[in-house]
Structure 1
Amino acid sequence: VGFETTTPGIAATILAAHNQGLDNFAVFSTHKVMPPPLIALLDDPELQIDGLLCPGHVSAIIGAGAYQPLVDKYDLACVVGGFESSDILQALILLARQIATGRPKVENAYTRVVSWQGNPRATKMVEEIFEPTDMEWRGLGMIPASGLAIRDKYARFDVKKRLDIILEPATEPKGCHCGEILKGKEQPPACPLYGKRCTPENPIGPCMVSSEGTCAAFYKYGD
């Protein structure tokens, strides 16, 4: 599981197992990629997003240039930011400046880690092992080409193919508003489960499961 940041490590491991002729290793891939869900959010007419603070670690792999098509299509401000407080503040200032001046572009505020082209060696390895596939996102539904499946050439390392596993469609917990919260349409207290049935000790939805989730953060720092 993971985004472009962790996928190259799995790709390298599968490639090493293939080259060594190993058969006692397999992967259940639920890897996801970042641009398709961004497009899904930007296509939602209710959101009216003005700009994106783009993830630094993902961008270290795919490069800041990966967001240029979003700028071209949606006339959208994009800034790649780091994770220190000063990184985030700098990225937000650049983002606000783009929006205020009406000059959207891709800016890289995390140059010590991220380049325009990313890591070609890593992306080439990922493309060798994986191919795009439709993927279900909790709270967001099915997003085309937003996941990565192991190519047939390396099928013996794919748990789903080796064991003939058929995944059942995911269902959202009754009453869970994570989809609306993830999209920024609601704040966590608007969910009827928040702070009652759904807490960090007993998480119901994805926004509370992760310590970095919106609901978990709101539960810890909100009010």
Structure 2
Amino acid sequence: IIKAQQGGIENFHVLSCLKLTPPVMKALLDSGEVKLDGIICPGHVSVIIGSRPYEFIPADYGVACVISGFEPIDILLCVGKLVEQIEAGQPKVEIAYRRGVKPQGNRKALELMEEVFQIDGANWRGIGIVPQSGLKINQKYEHFDAAKVFSGLLRCARNDKPVREPKGCRCGDILRGVATPFECHLFGKVCTPEKPVGPCMVSSEGACAAYYQYGSPESSGKF
């Protein structure tokens, strides 16, 4: 966006669907729907924002937090550190992905984000509008904002209505952790990776797709 501004490019627009992780983590913890002992914090997000934005979680909620990388050994290290914190009764924020994450984050990236975006409410599947949990293009660069320029065409750009799930789909409940894919009547029957009904099955990274691919034989017998 900055390069387009500098180059005087007028036929370039961006639809910002960027979201902020700590505010929605707070919303989930405040909901009381799920009892959490520990949280695996996302490595790719934390490369940018660092570890400090998560510090309210152990301080205010007594929940352990460890930032993980993406390799199997990273996940094992992260889970091990979470168990150590929980057993010791000393929740804190730890970085298990030190090759990518610093406590202060990536200052240059944060400066660029602050230059282009401003914090706004965002619509989260299964949760609704969470204040201060999204990023929209600020007034200085709003002529690049597709949500403004094409507001009559982009129904998806509206941020004031809950996301509608397909009939019978429990993706919202699954994303909040109040249900597993096996508790959805569509899972493995009507909804499969070949013919997905809900968004959790569409992406290979979705919870339902992962359960379908890697679920245990005992669990798989449920669908």
The TM-score with structure 1 as length reference comes to 0.89
Aligned length: 210
Aligned twin of 2:124: 137
One-letter amino acid of the structure 1 residue matched with residue 211 of structure 2: F
1:112 aligns with 2:99: yes
- Taking only the aligned residue pairs, the percentage that are identical comes to 50
- C-alpha contact (below 8 Å) 1:138/1:206 kept by paired residues: no
Aligned twin of 2:13: 26
1:149 aligns with 2:109: no
Aligned twin of 2:189: 196
One-letter amino acid of the structure 2 residue matched with residue 54 of structure 1: C
Distance 2:115 2:6 in 1: 13
Shift of 1:123: 0.7
* Structure 1 segment 46-195 matched on structure 2, within 5 A: 46-165=33-152, 167=155, 169=161, 170-195=163-188
- C-alpha contact (below 8 Å) 1:54/1:81 kept by paired residues: yes
One-letter amino acid of the structure 2 residue matched with residue 186 of structure 1: A
- Write out per-residue CA displacement over residues 61-89 of structure 1, whole angstroms, 9 at most, x where no aligned residue: 00011211222221221111111111111
One-letter amino acid of the structure 2 residue matched with residue 112 of structure 1: R
Shift of 1:141: 2.0
* Structure 2 portions without partners, runs of 5+: none
- C-alpha contact (below 8 Å) 1:25/1:157 kept by paired residues: yes
Distance 1:105 1:73 in 2: 11
Distance 2:23 2:172 in 1: 16
One-letter amino acid of the structure 2 residue matched with residue 90 of structure 1: L
Distance 1:156 1:208 in 2: 35
Distance 2:98 2:181 in 1: 34
Distance 2:208 2:5 in 1: 41
Distance 1:140 1:127 in 2: 26
Shift of 1:198: 1.4
Tell me, what secondary structure is at the counterpart of 1:118?
coil
Shift of 1:183: 2.1
Tell me, what secondary structure is at the counterpart of 1:43?
helix
What's the RMSD between the two structures over aligned residues? 1.4
Shift of 1:59: 0.5
Shift of 1:197: 2.1
Distance 2:199 2:16 in 1: 19
Shift of 1:128: 1.0
